[in-house]
Amino acid sequence: MARRSRSDPSFERELEALPPALRWREWLRRVEALLFAAAEPVSRDVLAQVVGAACVIEDLIADLREDLRGRPYEVVAVAGGWQLRTRPSLAPVLRAAGFLAGPDGGPSQKDATLLLAIGHFQPITRARLGAFFGREISRDTLAYLKAKGWLGAGPRSPEPGAPVTYVTTQAFLREFGFNSLADLPGQDLFAAYWTDGEGEADLGPLLPQQEAEIEEKGTDYEK
């Protein structure tokens, strides 16, 4: 069957023939169906394709959350869209059935902490991450996180040698269930390391082994 185009007049978005209450209920059903069928978060633009122009998406999502209050899954805001997810309280059930690989089905606590720091300080170099944690950050660890899709390459740092920087990805937001970087926990903790209102991080001096490696490689630390 051919996929309907967005302009297909046979698909009725407005539902003007229905009473307001029934119209709203049908829009709810459509949005829930989209979220149920989608493997990734569904954006506002996609949801807007199946509801009337006057429909306020946020109000619709709020009502859908209320409808699902007693269900084993909920609507969460993730990576700029919305997604249906099993409620966290049921994680032990999924784990017992083999659907989750670890205690939370995600990265280890060590990797999660590293990702959280990158999310707060990004773009950030490996050297500066090491200065923050007080230990050298393994290239293998960063490569693993990139392979998982949680890290990406940021712009070159203006520091001598123009080392590469790291940034988190949309996949990171989805994995942790954050809608945006503004939702990351630990704002107060990480704020202690900011020196001005322009987001310049004061992560302290480099570790001795990092300074030695920079001297040996002629400041091109990340290569």
Average pLDDT over residues 31-53: 89
Is 50 exceeded by the pLDDT of residue 191?
yes
What are the boundaries of each domain within the chain? 20-90, 109-217
According to the model, what pLDDT value does residue 42 have?
Answer: 92
Residue 58 Cα distances to 29, 61, 127, angstroms: 15, 5, 42
Q: Give the containing element (helix H, strand E) for 83.
A: strand 81-86
Burial of 31 (C-beta count, 10 Å sphere; 0-12/13-18/19+): buried
pTM, two decimals, is 0.52
Instruction: Check if the beta carbon of residue 120 is closer than 8 Å to that of residue 184.
Output: yes
Instruction: Check if the beta carbon of residue 95 is closer than 8 Å to that of residue 105.
Output: yes
Instruction: Tell me the pLDDT tens digit for each residue of 85-105.
Output: 878 887 676 665 445 544 445
According to the model, what pLDDT value does residue 28 have?
Answer: 93
What mean pLDDT value characterizes the chain? 76
Four-residue CA torsion sign, 199, 205, 206, 211:
positive
Q: State the pLDDT confidence band at 69, using cuts at 50, 70 and 90.
A: confident
Q: CATH fold of 20-90, please? A: Arc Repressor Mutant, subunit A (1.10.10)
Selected residue with higher pLDDT from 74 and 6: 74
Domains 20-90 and 109-217 share a fold: yes
- Find out if CATH 1.10.10.10 is the number for domain 109-217: yes
According to the model, what pLDDT value does residue 120 have?
Answer: 86
According to the model, what pLDDT value does residue 58 have?
Answer: 94
Four-residue CA torsion sign, 147, 150, 156, 161:
negative
